[in-house]
Structure 1
Amino acid sequence: MPRAKARAFPALLGALLLAGCTSAPAPRAAEAAPAPAAVPEIRPGVPAGYLTAAAIPDSLALVPAPPAAGSAALAQDHAVMKAALALRGTPRFQQATQDADLDFPFAAGTFACALGVGLDAQHTPATVRLLQRTLMDAAISTRAAKERYQRTRPFVENAAPTCTPNDEAALRGNGSYPSGHVAIGWTWALVLSQVAPERTDALLARGRNFGESRLVCNVHWQSDMLQGRFMASGTFARLQADPVFRADVAAATRELADARAQGLPPGRDCAAEAAALAQPLQGAL
């Protein structure tokens, strides 16, 4: 069943704004994974990202302005919005509610079915650390454009419910473009494909429908989603130059292989997830 309360992305972004963007010092040997105690935190229990502020791609410099009134792109946004609204009350809408939740430990299992193995801090600590830290990098990558454009979200325009009603007040004051949730989900899909390349197709498909969940949730436009993916790709590329990130990727690769050999179950209802995600979002790119 979906969780009753999903963590509001604006609250997460607020924590990032207060903390800034830091990076752990590089270890003397790049191949040696840093101990969890060495990971910097933006507040207790919330690890910082890998990248310094200067290393994170600048969304304001990289993404175009949101679609203009009367444009074909805005018409496409509205067409997909209408298709997404038709999925309210379906299992796909319930899946979107789960996908909205960025809280750990729950969020660690978002890609468990696509990986075919469970993820938790006890059995796969390096992988969970990868997800937590890259979440921060991806979220910050969307910040500048969000602040500049302050795009209104679909639910404000159409007055229809979202999948996270308790977050609506905060979302009204948080720019829609580009999508931070989508940037996070696509970054996770790319990072996990690096860790488990044999699962690439399933992971990328899950990353795509994780992003589409934001449309089903009625909190983002399709163009928000597309530019969120773009910023994720830039963030993932920049992460490759970070030695601490590379060390965590190596550690996660080893521990996922061990977890799979031990038969660690995904810990999610993978059949229900697959059935929900089989419901297509008409017109989505």
Structure 2
Amino acid sequence: MSLIFLASVQTALAQEPAKAPTPPPSGLIANGYLKISDLPDSAVLVPPPPAPGSVAKKRDEEAAAAAVAQRGSARWTLAIADAELMAPDAIGQTFSCAAGFDISAKTTPALAALLQRSLANIAVSTMAAKRRYQRARPFMENGQPSCTPAMEPILRKDGSYPSGHSAIGFGTGLILTQVVPSRATELIARGRAFGDSRRICNVHWTSDIEEGRFMAAATVARLNADPVFQKDLAIARKEVDSVIEQRTGPRRDCAAEASALSATR
């Protein structure tokens, strides 16, 4: 999914007042909680990307080379799955193993709506810096394919720095820790790995991913000051307490996911 698309959707919705959360139509992004003007400004908060020839740039290049070497592995396959954000329940299923229960519009509708609505804001939080720096992506510099070749024409036009996918993953992990604090370690680890999938995919540099996490933290902090977000968070907590009591386990193959993540280089 292109963050350019996310930004265009959020721009169209940003002027609308916040409404009670409802599950978004299949394949579409829900309205965010915040207007774009209320989001932390990544153009101010994020420093310039590593300069050519710098130690930081060399670190990025070495990490990208290690990622290319994993092409075709189980970790590469997981990176392909992590790239998908538009499929129904995509972000919820990504975190189901870490949460310990199935997250979906069917099993946890309030939580699914909370995550989708938050996702719209978290993703767009990176856009100002992306436009400012227009950094070339790894596959554009190293000539190696990405894990999502069909998206490459769009990604070439969308700045690499900072990573919107990384922001989404880390931000979702942070929000979920507020819903299921007992799984904080697992959820934050999965959010971190979700961002690193973009390095494995050869579409983001390590520094892109790190600054994406920074913008996620800033945006989630701002979301927590929003009363509608807080109301929906409380509803999601009650819903999840009930789901945990019912022992609704993940649909995802958690053993395969854990194995793929353990092999990351």
* Residue 60 (structure 2) pairs with residue 77 (structure 1): yes
Q: CA deviation at 1:176?
A: 0.4
- Runs (4+) off by over 6 Å: 41-44
Aligned to 1:101: 84
The TM-score, its normalising length taken from structure 2, stands at 0.94
* Residue 231 (structure 2) pairs with residue 247 (structure 1): yes
Distance 1:208 1:22 in 2: 32
Aligned to 2:163: 179
Aligned to 1:54: 37
Q: Is the 8 A contact 1:21 1:48 kept in 2?
A: no
Secondary structure at the aligned position of 2:121 is classed as helix
CA RMSD of aligned residues (A): 1.9
Distance 1:172 1:44 in 2: 23
Q: CA deviation at 1:193?
A: 0.3
* Residue 5 (structure 2) pairs with residue 11 (structure 1): yes
Distance 2:61 2:44 in 1: 26
Distance 1:122 1:42 in 2: 13
1:243–1:167 Cα change, 3 Å: same
Distance 1:70 1:52 in 2: 38
Amino acid of the structure 2 residue aligned with 1:36? T
Alignment of 1:21-60 (within 5 A): 22-24=16-18, 34=20, 36=22, 45-60=28-43
Aligned to 2:74: 91
Distance 2:259 2:126 in 1: 31
Distance 2:167 2:26 in 1: 22
Structure 1 gap ranges (5+): 1-6, 26-33
Q: CA deviation at 1:111?
A: 0.2
Q: CA deviation at 1:123?
A: 2.2
1:240–1:122 Cα change, 3 Å: same
Secondary structure at the aligned position of 2:34 is classed as coil
Q: Is the 8 A contact 1:138 1:183 kept in 2?
A: yes
Distance 1:193 1:128 in 2: 14
Of all paired residues, the percent bearing the same amino acid is 47
Q: CA deviation at 1:60?
A: 0.3
Q: Is the 8 A contact 2:79 2:147 kept in 1?
A: yes
Amino acid of the structure 1 residue aligned with 2:71? R
Amino acid of the structure 2 residue aligned with 1:187? G
Aligned to 2:50: 67
Q: CA deviation at 1:43?
A: 11
Aligned to 1:161: 145
Structure 2 gap ranges (5+): none
Q: Is the 8 A contact 1:139 1:180 kept in 2?
A: yes
Q: Is the 8 A contact 1:139 1:183 kept in 2?
A: yes
Q: Which of 104, 111, 131 is the matching residue for 1:147?
A: 131
Distance 1:44 1:82 in 2: 33
1:45–1:269 Cα change, 3 Å: same
1:158–1:126 Cα change, 3 Å: same
Aligned to 1:273: 257
**1:219-255: CA deviation from partner (whole Å, max 9, x where unpaired):** 0001100100000000011111101111111111111
Distance 1:62 1:23 in 2: 26
Please identify which structure carries the higher helix content. Answer: 2
Q: Is the 8 A contact 2:170 2:192 kept in 1?
A: yes
* Residue 177 (structure 2) pairs with residue 193 (structure 1): yes
Distance 1:204 1:44 in 2: 25
**1:101-159: CA deviation from partner (whole Å, max 9, x where unpaired):** 11232332110000010011122111101110111111111011101111000001111
Q: Which of 121, 136, 150 is the matching residue for 2:105?
A: 121
Secondary structure at the aligned position of 1:200 is classed as helix
